[in-house]
Structures are given as C-alpha cells and as structure tokens.
Structure 1
Amino acid sequence: MKKLKRVLALAMAVILSVPTIVTTGMGTVPVKAAGDTVELTVSSESAKYAGYETHKMYAGGNYAYCVQPSKKTPQSGTYEKHYDVENYVSNAGDETQALQSRNLAYYCWGAPGFNASYFPSTWYDGSAMDDDKYIALSHIMLSFLVSYDEVGSMHGCNSSFKNWVYQNVLGYNANGDLVNGQATLPILCWATAPASFKVYILSTGSATQNILGYEYTPTGTVSLSKTSANTGITSGNSCYSLAGAVYGIYSDAGCSAQVTTLTTDAGGNAAAVSLNAGTYYYKELTAPAGYALDSSVQSFTVTDGQNTALSVSDTPTNDPVRISINKVDSETGDKVQGGASLENAEFTVKYYAGYYNAGNLPANATRTWVIKTLKTAGGNYMAALNNTCKVSGDDFYTNAAGTAILPLGTISIEETKAPEGYNLEGAYLQVGGVGEKITGKYVAQITQNGNLAQLKGGNTFKVSDKIKRGDFKLTKIDTDNQNRMGDIPFRVTNKATGESHIIKTDENGYYSSESSWNAHSKNTNGGGAYDGLWFSTGDGKAAVDDSLGAMPYGDYILEELSCDNNRGKILYNGEFSIRRDKVTVDIGTIENHSEPTPVITTQASDAKTQYQIIKPSADTDIVDKVTITDTMAGREYTITGTLMDKDTGEAVMVNGNPVTASQTFTSDGTKKVLDMHFNFDSSALGGKTVVVCEKLTYGDYVAATEEDMENKDQTIYFPEIHTTATDSETADHLTLADSRAVITDTVTYTNLLKGETYTLSGVLMDKDTGKELLVDGEPVTQEMAFTAGRASGTKKLKFEFDTTGLAGKSFVVYETLTLEDVEVAEHKDINDEGQTIHIPTAQTTATDDSSKINVSEAKKEVSVTDTVAYRNLVPGKEYTVRGTAVDKETGEPLTDADGNELVSTAKFTAASADGSVDVKFTFDGTAMAGRSVVFFENVYYTDKLIGVHADINDEAQTVHIPLIFTSVKDKDTDSHMSLAGSDVTLTDTVAYRNLVPGKTYTISGTLMDQRTGKAVTVNGKSVTSSADFTPDTADGETKVDFRFNTKGLDDTTVVVFEKVLYGKAEIAAHEDINDKGQTIYIPSVKTTAIDEKTATKLTLAEKDIHIVDKVAYRNLVPGETYKVTGTAIDKTTGEALKDDAGADVTATATFKAKKANGTVDVEFVFDGSTLAGKTVVMYENIYYNNKLVGVHADISDEAQI
C-alpha cells in the first residue's frame, strides 16, 4: 500500500510535465445505485504476449478487463455492477486511486478514448503493434493501478519484456520508483475522462478475478441565437420583434418525438439546454411579431461535453411591392385620346415605419419615392415601385433576391404630375379600380397576415385624369377673285391616333368645330357644312359632350380635298395643334391658287450601253430618262410608259402582256428627272423598231403625254442577222476531214443604223460540246468591219483551217455584230443547220460472206461484204462509196486477171446523218493463203471527196485468209509408222497462220488411203477426228488425235486431210495426198524359215541346228535403219524354246531399208537334240528406234515353220 501511494504521488509530480489530453478537469467518480446487473461474456480467445495470456471478456457489449490476474478466470454469467470502485482498489476507500483507474480505463484498448499514439510505437522486440498487444498492455496497466498486481499480469513473461514494460509502459520499476515520466501509465492515469464515462467492478467470487467494465453515455448542450433576415427593413421598426420565437427540439426527422423547446428573448437568444450526444432536429413553432414562420426542419449534432450553438434568422413579412397604379382616361378608360399620352404621370409614394392613419402621419416619411407611368406590352399605362418607373427618391427596400419590397407600416400615394394632355385637377384614385373615388392623398397600412404582409384594401389602383379639349375654325377664299369658297371638303386627321373626319365650309366659306356653331351631337361626323364634329367616338371612346371641345389634346392634319369647286386649284395641306383646354384655334383664311400645266421630255436608250440600237436578248433593260417640270408641289403623280411597235402602232406584247413601266412620286414643285426601266425579254424583236410612249397622271386626270411615234429620241432599234455557211469545194454543208477547208459564211443583216461602222465577228463552235472548236489549240475566228450604207444588207466571212483530226465533227458558225465594242446582234444557234458544217467520217467492217467474220478461205471465188458505217452526212442527199481491195503485206491494190485494180462502188441516199451502206467484193483468193486483204473506202458527194477510211492497220477493214500445215505421228512409235493390227493413236499437229485471235475454230481431220484416194474405213466407218480451239495469236498450232485399230490395214499408207472451220464455214484446208508430213505408213511382215543344211523346212534333231528365217517387209519408210528380232516358238506348247541357260532362243538382224519393200535374213542357231518330233515356228518383230512397227507371229503359218 505504501508503495502504491508513492507511485501515485510521483505520478502527480510528473503529470504536470506532459501534454493535457482533455481539458474538462479531473472531476469526481460518478455515483450510481448498486443492484444493476450485466451479462459477462468470457471468450475462448485470449490475447497472448511474451509467454503469458489474458482472456478476452465483454460486459454489456463493451470490452472488460481482468484486474486481479493472480486469481482464476470467472465463468460467463450475470453479475452485479459495483460502481463504488474505490472499495475494490488495492488501497480500499481511496477515491483518487478509483478516479485514476477510471481515467486510465477510458483510454485503454476497446474504450471510447483509446488512441494508439498514447502507447509505444513498437513491441518490445521491435515488431509491429496490433490489437492483442494493446489489450495486453491495457490489462497490465489496469492490474497495476487497481490491484497493484503487475507481477501477476506478467506471470511467465521473459525478463526482456518485463523490463520493457516497467520502463516504457508503467514508468515505474518493481519497487514503485518512477523511472520514466513519459511512459503510458503516468500520462493516462492523470488524464481526464468525460463525466459521462462510468466504470464498475464485477465481483465474481473470492477465488475468481474482479472484472473492470464501463458505461458511456456522452452529453452536451444546445443554444440558439435568432436574427432578422433583413435588418434593413426591421431595424428601428416597432412592427417587428425577435422576442417569443419558440423552437421545438426533436429526436426524429419527422418531428414526432419532441425532446424540449427553446424560446428567444428580446435579443433573440435562447438559453442552453442539456442533451445526450447525438443528432437532433428542430423547427420553429411560433414566429415572433412581424416575422414569417419558418416551418422548415433542420438538424444538428450534440457532441460529448460541447455546446452546439444554433444560428437562425427569420424573414420579416413584407409586401413584395406588387403595388401597381393603372393610369386611365376618365372618359375613355385605357384608350388615349388625340395626341395626349397617359405615360409619365407622376405619383409620390411615402413610407412610414409604424402604423398610422391620415390624421396622425408623421411630418417626415421614413422613405419617399416618385414613380411614373409607362406603357406596357398589353397597351396599359402602369406605375410600380421599381427602378424602371422610379423618377427620384430613396433606395427601395429589397429582399435577399434584390426584389423591391415594402415592410410592415404605412404608405401614402398621391398623383403629383398629370401626363401630357391631361388635367391634374379632378383626378381621382380607386382601389382595385372600383368603389370610392379618392381625391388627393391615399393612406393605407401594410399589416401581417400569417407569413405574409399585405396592403389593406389591395395592391392595385386606378387613377383617372381628364383630357384637355379645344376647337378650331377657318375661312376659305379664291385667290384669283377673292370670293369665298363654299362646300369645300377638308379631311381632319389626328396625327397620333389616325382618327379622321370630313368637314365642309358653308356657303360663306366658313367652318367652326365649336358646339356653339354646330352642336357636336348634331349628325355627329356627318361631313356636311352643318354637321357636328367629335373626335373619339364609338365603343370604348369618349362619348359626345356638347359642353367640351370637339378636339382632344394633340396635333392634327388639315387636308383640302379635290372637288368641282376647287378644280385646277392648288389644294391646301397644313397642320394645327390643340394644347389648351376650352380654347379655339383660329386657322384664319385659306386661299386657293391656280396650278400650272406639267411638261415632260424623254430620251430612251439601252440602260447598259446608252445606245438606241439594242441586241435582242432575254434580259433587255431600256431606260427612258423622263424630265418633268411645272408640277404641283405636294401632289402625287404617276408616270406610265408603254413600248409601242412602230410598224403596227400597237403595244409590244411579251407573254401576252404589254411592256410597261411606271413610277409614282410626290412633287416638291421642282423639276423631276426619273429613269423609267423597261425590263423584258426582247428575243423575238429582232428586226423590229419600238417607240417609248409616256403618260403623266394624277388621280383620274391626264396631266401630260409624250406619244410621238416619229420622235427619234424615243425610238429603239433591234437589229437581226442570219447566216448561211458552206464549204468552198462542195458548195454545201459538207467538208472533208484531214484537209485544208475554206468555209464561207454569208451574213444577212436588217435594221441597222445607216452610216455607222460595225464589226462582224465569227467563231466556229463544236456542236457536240457547245464550246469553241480548237485547231492546234486555238479557236478558229474571223472578223471584218463595214459601214452600213443601208439598214439591211449582206456580208461574207471566210474561214480557212486544217480539218485534220476533226472527222465526225460538226461545227456551227457563230456570228456577232458589234458597234464600238457593244454587241447589237448575234446569230448563235447551235442547232441551226444553215450555220452548220459537217465533217463526215466512215468506218468499215469487212466480213466474208461464207464465214460471216473477217476470215476467208483461200479459194477461187472469195466474196466479201464491206459495210461502210458513215456519220455526220447531210440527210436526203445522194452519195457514192468507192472501195479498193489492198494487199496488207505490200500495201498495193489487188488486181484481177487483166491487171485492173479490184474496186467496187455503191450509191445511196442518206436517210439520216448516221447510217451504213454495203460494198460487195468478189476475187480469186487461191494465191492469198496466209495473207490479208484491207478494204479502203472513199465517200463522195457529187464528185467531191468528203470522207475517207484507208487505214492499213484497221482490223475491222481487214479480211484474213488463213494457211495451215500439218505433221502427223504415231503416238506410240513417235514416227510416221504405225503397227498393224493394233490400237493406235495418231497425233496430227496443225500449224496455222493468219487466223483472227479470240475466236473459236474447229479442226476437222479425215484419214485417207494414199493408194485409193478414198477415206480409210474401220468397221465400215471413216476414221475422222475434230477439235475446237481458240487462238490467242494469229499464228500458232494445235493438235488433233485419231484413235482407231489398224487390223486389216497392213501395207496401207494413210494420209491425214485437215480442214479449219468457223462454225460450218470452211476457212482453211490442207489435203495433199503426197505430203509426207501428213503420211502414216502401216508396214506388213511375212517370213519363210529354212534349215541351212537341208535347205528345206525339215531339220535333224541334232546338237547344232542353223535355221534362216527370211523376213519379207512392205511399206517401211526407206532410208531408215530397222532391227528385226526373231523368237523360236514350240508350236505344240506355244512357248519360246529355251537354250541351255534357260534363255529364249532368239536371233536379231539390223538393216537399212533402201526401199519401202524388201527382205532381210534372220539366222537362228540352237541345240535341237531334244526336239525330235517337234515343230518350231519363227516369230519376227521389226523395230524402229526401239519402237515396234511390224510383227509376224502366226503359230499356224507354214512359211514360218
């Protein structure tokens, strides 16, 4: 006990040197009645440390610590809570020790105040800290402080750990001496825990540990301060107060569970009340006087040990200045009379901070404003408290949004300036526009109504003023004789409203609008000399009142109207104004003067060139400069012009309408010069002359005219030209391509101005493109200048140019006539045949009449049709086509047997510009195989050459005459010999020349017997073969195979005849019966065997037998070397005889055939000692280049035995 006291004393000494953790003071141990119980849960888990451990425990859901480590761990269960901790510390009854234990417990692991920074940063062995290590150190400190049993809490721990704990955690050694004032325990035991933090002891039994648990219910306070949201209108205003605002405090957002209330004093402050820590909600239940209730719900948070200060503000109720003053005419309402205006009426509005009436208003207003009326979009005249209407005065009261408002209090409204044209006297105000008519000053209070403020009686006012009215009078006389003019009408018009009425002078030339002269109500506005006059009548306007002037305030126009009594006079037009009430304006005497007679002069020309000669076009613009003098100032005139055809005297019509122009003007009395533009399509006026006629009118009267058809200044000329182009050779519209052409264009002109010098310019146009024809990159042009001696005449232009490359083209001569660089006529019709020259072109296509293509057979009579396709001829004319056949290889014409050139002609009449004609050619082509013929064609008109097609390389003009050669071989023997009695394949290689590539041809071959000249037959049928081919080039070769059996064809010579067909037409053949290249020989072989000794077919069965077999052959190819191989055959067995070595008994002989037919001996030597009674047959084979070409192997042939 002594030791502990010393420790605590030392702790008190050192705590003064460490930072303060909390600032609420040490306080005292909270007291709570005993008898409460709590559920203790002892976990199976434990916090292990340095060789020892402590069980993890929970009391009432909070972490709990064992503070008697030397005793046994209790069981889980329900235990009584002992809040008198001082009775359970080691120094029983020591409240300081109990308070230090409570402070320490607040900052231990698992408690509300735990902060790792109060503990060592690493474990004793340098490892990182974790929850179990913080639990272990908290357990050791509480065991030390409550029971002074740190030894028990470190039972079994190693000395390193213990020393580390004493030094860094407890801060004392085992003897209780302070060793480290900055250790965890000295700091935390003197730190302050919140007052709401309570600890208790669970006494679990004499043999088991006491357990330290805690409860924590944090508390704080809340206070409120209220202000005005707009002090600008509440300060110094007794209508507003901050006292008596009541706020409800709730624990739920729905404000159904009220906890307490806060009530403000005169300063707007509510005293603090205590609340448990947590989130609360508040709203205003009662607003103070003059303020709007804020029913919104707000939240706040109470923090343990802290005061939450709420700041709120209320919006003072106010009128959002919906005050509007509608200014009206007392007679017509919203309708303004005459030239008056309801704008700019001024009202003085005064505000008083307090409630007053008209009898006790203070001498000085709090604020004063002067506002004026403005016209609205809806046509009303309104004044309002805003900056737009404000004329002068104080600043407006405004809310947070900057909108003008009126606070609670009193206002007065008074009209202090009438608008233009109205009297302030007699003005009155009506609230809402109805009810009592208040004159002078209007006073009303702005009072609170719930959350709103309103102006008693309403916010809208109507203020009525009476307009000023007057009259006028006049006298009308004739200037020339000074007589008074009666029955003269005038139109009187209000300039502002446009309202207009007719008046008339009486028989004395006098008029007055005064009701005393003619009552306003007498046939009002009837327009007669004795009818009344009244402005502003009808619905919504001022009713007729004989006691007032006829004319409301404003400016008026007085306009004399034309009538029989003032015809030829200058009519009066003037103005007067009504400005004063009940005053008559005397206009005085109005005189009439006679008016002058207008004079007009004109000058017509082209608007662009100022010439009187104009080219017809779609956009002609004639300007007639009209000068007009002696007109009446102020009078409206109309000048109307019409174009007239000089020849017919009728108006020029375009699209069924006359060509006219007009202008209307109001004269100022001086000379008037007008440009009258006649814009129209003059394309159809070529050769025409037109005259511009003008007429000046006003109303229905013609004031002046200029309609002289012989007036040259008014005359316009439209020239016209026509052209005809011809070729100098053909005298027609045809010329030859690739030559030097001379074209003459004959130009006929009409309606020129005589004596003027003109330039005629021509250019050739490509008819296909519509653009200039280019020769060597340049246009073909010509021009000439001439002086017109007459209005009509003829000129010729010649164009010389090279037509090379222009075949098939047509060109049109465009002509332009100019006067001093200004075009006055043109003829540019791309479709005009008279202006057109055609350059024909011809293309030819030559075809054989048999094959229908440009391939012919080299035969006695070859027939070819050359189709000449022509383009660009002139239809309806007769032409001649002359063709010549030309050898392509030599370029020379073909000739007949008499040496004449091979030519052909055809005459035809062209039905259209493009077409074709056939030219027939027949000639002997037997000598032309392998050559080609080109057909040249010339086209003539009369005897003039106009078209040529003579291209030696033109494939379409060319007819090819093919040539073929053949070479046949036996496929097995690769020679011109085939084996008799076998299936053979002959391949005939056909070489061709001069075919047209890309077409499909057929090679057709037949085998012929050379001896008979007839076809070879097998099984009664001729041996033939055919093959289709499509050559890529004109020269090449193709192959045809003949497959057949040569049985029975021994000693036969076969020749292959070949034909080339296109479709069914034969175009080439090779059928030479003596052509060795086309020939196949089928040899025959016969043999005669004789014994050399007996010279007979009998031999002795002896060891050495010599047999000579004479082989007779026919139809071999002479000059070639052959080999004969013989084999001895046992006739009985059909097998070859064998020698001693088991090999076949054979014999061979090689020879060179001098002729196709001959013999050769083959000698057999073999052992015949065993052949007694046997018959031996000799088989023989003939080979050429090791290929079998002849066989004799007949087992029954006696000659071979």
Structure 2
Amino acid sequence: MGKRVIIRVFTLLSVLALFLNVFLPRASAEVMTHEKYSMNWSYSNSLGKHIRTEMIKNSSGQIAYCLTLGLKSPNGEDLPEMGKTDNVVYRVLLNGFPQKSVQQLGVANQNEAHYATQLAVWNALGQLDVNELKHENKNVEKAAKAIISNANNSEETQDVFMNVIPAEKQKAELKGEFFETNLYSVQTNAKGGSYKVVAKNAPNGVKIVSENGEVKDQLSVGEKFRIQIPKNTKTGEFNLSVAANLTKVQAIAYRGTDTVQNATVLLERNEEKLSSDLAVNWEAAGSLKIKKVGENGEVLADAVFEVFNANNESVGKITTGADGIAELNNLPIGTYTLKEIKAPTGYVSDDKPQTIEVKTGETGAVQIVNNKVKGNIEIKKLSDSGKVLPNVEFTVFTEDGKEVKKVVTKENGIANVEGLTYGKYYFLETQTPNGYIGNKTKYPFEIKEHNKTLTFTVENTEVKGSVKLLKVDNEDVSKKLEGAEFELKDASGKVIGEYKTDKNGEINVKDLAYGKYSFVEKASPNGYVLVKEPIMFEIKEHGKIIELLAVNHLIKGDLEITKVDVADGNNKLPNAEFTIYNEAGKEVVKGKTDDKGIAKFEKLPFGKYTYKETVAPKGYVLNEETFSFEIKENGQIIKHIVKDEKIPSIKTTATDKTDGTKEMHTSKSVTIQDKVEYKDLQVGKEYTVKGKLMNKETNKPLVVNGKEVTAETKFTPTEANGFITLDFTFDATGLEEKEVVVFEELLKDGKVVTTHADINDKGQTVKFVKPSVKTTATNKADGGKEIHSKDSITIQDKVEYTNLVVGKEYTVKGKLMNKAINKPLLIDGKEVTAETKFTAKEKNGFVTLDFTFVGAEQQGREVVVFEDLLHEGQVIATHADINDVGQTVRFVEPSIKTTATNKADGSKELDASKSVTIQDKV
C-alpha cells in the first residue's frame, strides 16, 4: 500500500512538472520513430504483465525516452517541443544510457542499457516502482537501481549558472613591463561555450591574456585569464565584466497525443550570461636617487634637497649619506624637480634645479656636482728699501704641510694664487729673490668665503759679496800669470771696472751687489793665447767671496802632411815616415801617414820647424827634400803635400822573333826579341833599357865570337805603364840544346832604377833545340824490304823526327843512293828524289816520302834512302848512313825449287801395280 501511495505522489509531481513545462515556449518540433527489441526482463505484479518499451529516436538518431507508461511509442509523428522535463527525470537521464556507456552500466548491450534507463525514468515519474517488479534480467535490475540511486544523490539542475572569481577588487602588481592581476576563473555548470572580457574605461594598452600569456579577444570555457596594464600607465582603476555564450545539456520534452506517449531527449542548448562588474586597480610608482659628488668625483654627505612634483608640490626632503646618496621611494611616476637647499660644508650650493623622470618600478638617478668653496690670495714682494721684487717664488701648503701650488711674482712684485679650496693653508718663500736674503717666515691663512681674496706683504734684505780671480798656466797651474788685463761687466754688459793681474796673478773686487757678472780678458800674458770667452760668476750669498780660476794656453798649432803619388795626386800613400825638427835641429816627433795618406802632428808649440821623409812608402823612392814650416797662431793647421815617385818595375818575355815561340833552331843568324813591360814610369821622362843574353847553364853572359850579346834602346813614355822591344841578333851555331836567358836593366838620368835578372825566369828564357830524323824505307806495295825489278815501282820512306818546334814549318828532302858505289842512284841519268813540307803539330812524329821510278834491270841492287830536314832553308838534321839497314831496300831475282812425293803418304817410293798421284811442292 505504501509503495502505491509513493508511486501516486511521484506520478502527480511528474504530471505537474509536465503540465508546467507544456506552457513554456516551443522551440521546435521533432519527428520521433522507434525500434522494437525483444524483452521479457521485468514483470509488474501490480499491472499483471511484463513491462515493455521501444527504443525511440529523434531525427538526429538521439535516443529519447517515453514519459507515459502504457501509451504507444511515437513512430513517425511530428511531436512538438513542450519545454524541459523536471530535474528528477533530468538527473536520471544524466546517469542513464547513452550518457553512461554499456560498460559503465554493467549490462550486456545497449538494449539492456536502454531498458534499464527507461525503467528508471518511469520510476522517477512514479508510473512504476522498480522495486516492485520481478526482474528476470539481473543486469537490467542492477543497472536500473544504480541509475535511480545516482540520480537521487545528484543535485544537478538544468539551469545554467556562471560565476567569475575572484569577484573582489584585484590590485595589479608590476611584473616586467606590465602590471598584472592574478588569474580570473569563469566557473559554470555549462558543458562548453566561450566568453569575452569587456573592459570599461580602461587606459590604453590594457591586454587580456590567457594563463600562458597569449593575448586573446575570446576565451573558451575552462580557460583562465588575467589583466595586463602597461607599466608606465599612471595609477588608476577600471571595471570589467564577462559576457559568455554557454552550452549545457538539457532534458527536452515533446508532446504526444491521446494515444502516443510524451517523450524526452537530452539536447545541448546555448544560453547568454553576463557577469557583474569586477574592479581592477594598480599603483604606478618608482624611486629617485641623488648622488652628490665634488668636482673631483669625491662623494659628499649632508647635502639637503627638497623634491617637487609636476604641480610644484613638495613631496619630501632628503639628505645625502656618507656614500653621497639620498633616495626617495614610492613616488608616483612622473617628472620631479630637485632643489638643493643646503650644500655640504666647504662646498658652494648648486642653485640650478635638476629634473628627474620617475618611471614605474625604476629608480631615476642623477648625479649632482658641487664645486668647493674657493678663494684667492695676493702676495706683494718688496725689498727692505721698498723696491718691488719680481720673479720671487712662493709655495702654498695645506695646514698639514702638503704642497698645493708654486707661484712667482710678476714685474709689479705681486703673485696671485687663485682657486684655493675651502680650508686652512700657509705659504713660504721657497725661492729667494735675486740679490736678497731669504725670508723664512711662515704665513698662515684660511679660505672660508667663496671668491674672497686675502692680501699679504713680504719683505727681503739685499745680498752683497766679493770676487777673487787667479790667472794661471793651463799646463802648470802653479805658474801664476801677471799682466793679464780684464774688464768687469754686470749682467747687462756694462763695464763697471778694469783690472790687471798682479805678480801673484790675482784680481780682487769687494762689495758687489747680488747679480751676475763677467770678467772679459782684453790682453793675454806674453806668449799665451787670449781667452775670448767671458768668465761668468754670480753673487748669490750674502758676504761670500767667489773664487775664480782663469787659465791661459800657450799658442799651439798642427802640421798635416799628405803623401801622394807624384804621377797621381789622388793616390794617397800610407806608411810614409816623417821626422819633425825644431829650429835648433833637435828631433821633436816622428809620425807615419795613415790609410788616407795623412800624417798629423798636433799641438806643436809656437816656433819654426823643419821635417824630412825618413822612410818612404813601400814601392816608392825616398824623397830627400827638407821642408820647413812655422807655428804662429793658436789652432793653426799647416797642410803640406809631399810627392813620391814609385819604384819602377819591368818584366820581360824573350821569344824567337820570327814566330814568337820559346824554342829556336840554331843557325848563323838568329834574332831573339825581348818584350820589356814597364810599370810606374814618369810620363815625359827619358829612360834607357839595356839588355844582355845569359848562358843559363853557366849563369854568365853568352859570348859569341868573343863578345857578349847585348842590345839597348832609349824611349820617353807617354803613359806610366807600357812596353818596348829589344832585338838580339847573333850567330847561334853550336848552341843546340842550350838555354839563353835575357837580363834587362832600366835607367833614368844614367842611374839604374830597376832590373829584371832572374836566371830561372821562364819568361826571359829561350831554348835552342836539336832535331833528329830516322828513316825506314820499304816497298810501298807490301811494306817489305825486298822488291822485284819492274817498270814502275815505289819505295816509301817513313821519316821519324824528334825535337821539332810545334807550329813551325819544315821541309823533308830525300834521295836514293846506290849502296854498292855510295852514290846517288841514277835512272835515265837523273837522281831519284822526293820532298814534302809540313807543320809540326807535336815535337815528335813522322812523315812519309814516296820515290816512284822505273825499276827494270835493278836485280840484285841495294838502294839506300838519304834524308835532310830543313827549316827556313837551313838543314837542321840529316840521316845519311849508307849502311843503315832501315834505310835500305833490296832488288831480288825470282827463283823456284820443287820436291815430288807420293801424295798418299808423302814418301818417295810408289807401287807400280796401282794408280798413284805424285804431288810436287814448288
């Protein structure tokens, strides 16, 4: 009974909900169809039947559920929308199929899932009680009850809500280049959708960004956002709201007919939502920093500044600390003006306002320089008589003794020191004025006021002193010099006195005022060089005697001798020795010329001198002349040029005049020509060359016919170097294998100046050679020594020669001799002769002569060849030995002799019964 009451109550509530929803505006109509499937899964005892249903679907294929148990399911009908079902059914649908899958519901297939959901819908409408049913399908029973339980535990509604959190005012904080709010979240029960953030009265540059920093005009449900305001935006605030287009699943009811049941389906629907206004504010602030330094960069404490904003309103006063820095923080951004209202002690206040820009999150910094308080002093310098004193040096010191500056008084006696910084000082006279005693007084003062000048007067006493001059010899300072005359001049050159050295060599002058002076020598002591340079001195110390030493030098001069070749003045000669003698003839000094041909004799005392060349340069004739000179002026340099003649030299080359060779043949008349090369003769002077021939073997003059063989000639050279020739013509008979050497001597003015007489000099030597010949006569036809008589035969004679002179032309003449009578062989009454000419290419060699003649009827005769060797028509060698086998050829008669033998065995006996061969050896 109780269950029925509950079912009726639910039924009434569901009907009431449907009744209320019927009157909601229709959105659209939907065509519904259904699909049947087999089921006998749940039996209702109260109804006395199995509970059956069909799977209803709309035109989009979405599953719909029946809202009226007992009526038939729609099948092709166009059902109008009648609003939303109540939240109880809505929660069932959210926990049923297809919102929950087959697996989530724990059933075997979608038919079971659909059936269990349908039971839960009717149960929610009170049209049946799932607990009253007899379930034959336990999956369905379990799923239906689970759907009902979950729906009962759910508070989900179909209404769309939206909240934006945080809802309270947010203060944007500076992060980098922007002020940023915390993240905003849009909270809604909508399944999806999008929203926009609408800013109201926001400053320029405001951005809406997603959680990852992306700027967006529109965001999706679930995305968070924050607000960004540019950092240099002045402090302010504005409002914003969120306008959303939200999507949510709702249970939509469709009206059936009297016979067709109502249906419901879960559909997504959009809904516009607008949040309430949200407030955002920010504070754009920064700082300013002042660094106070002195003109040298030193930091300054205790400088006070007042800070004004752009409206000239004071925003605070700040004072620099020990680091010279003052800061003012949390200032609204903008331009500020700084005014210094108190300067650090000892510094001048900077009255010029300074502007500084304060930016968000930054510190605007400015360095302001203060100049120190500076003052001046003026020092007036006077003598004790009131005379202004220029060029006096003063030094200014700090109180603790550190030097600050040096100054010097000008022509008016005043020295100014400007720009002294704040503090205590003193000054001292650090350079006494010329001619005055130094003032040691310490003058303290203090600089307290800017640009103020303090004045001081400082006096000095004038200085006086004396001078003593002593005149001495420079080489012997103990020797005092009397009679030197001087003028004493002051610094301007004015003569203030004339003085002469006494017997002690002294001059004394007293009470000279401070200043510079000079002694000028007007006359030197006798025999000394006048000193032209003034002797400077200075009176600087009061009462002091200045002592001066004045030195005079004896007059001295130099001699410079240049030694040159008489033939070539540019040829300077080293190593020539000269000796200097004084007027009494005593040797003073020796010296030699250097590589430049110069000999210097320095610092010779005043007087007369002579000099001679005592050693001539190598290869030159000693100059025996005596030279004189005189030293009269100090520093005088006397220059002399002394000329020397070179010792001439000669070189000779003796040859055969006919062909220039060094070897000759003896004859009755030969000429040896000697080429005499000379060097270093004096051009234009007459010379004589004399020569004679020497026998090398005896190293004595060659004597021919009782006389020496000589030659001579005179000549005058046009150049220093050249040559001439001498001819020695004589009878050379009997000089074979002798060597002759030419000796020469060169004379000038009858005196021998050079010779060339080297017995071993090959160039001066000529050799007379002794040629020889040897012959070998043969039959030209076969080279044999025997020959047969016949009409034409040729005997060839090989003539071997020795000791010829290479390059000379020779003639060989031969004739045939009848050995039997030792007379020339006559053929047809004429001698048989032959000859040939040749030029010797080697000292030893051979030539051949051919003797062609009619040789008939010469049998048994021996013929000998005689030969003569001639040079220039003169026989120089002969080979004529009638018994010389080598020179002999023999004419022979032919003859024969035979020897017969048995050819078979060479015996002298034969076998008559056989055929035999006799062999005859002829």
The TM-score with structure 1 as length reference comes to 0.34
Using CA pairs under 8 Å that are at least 6 residues apart, name the structure with larger relative contact order, 1 or 2: 2
Q: TM-score, normalised on structure 2?
A: 0.43
Higher Rg of the two aligned structures: 2
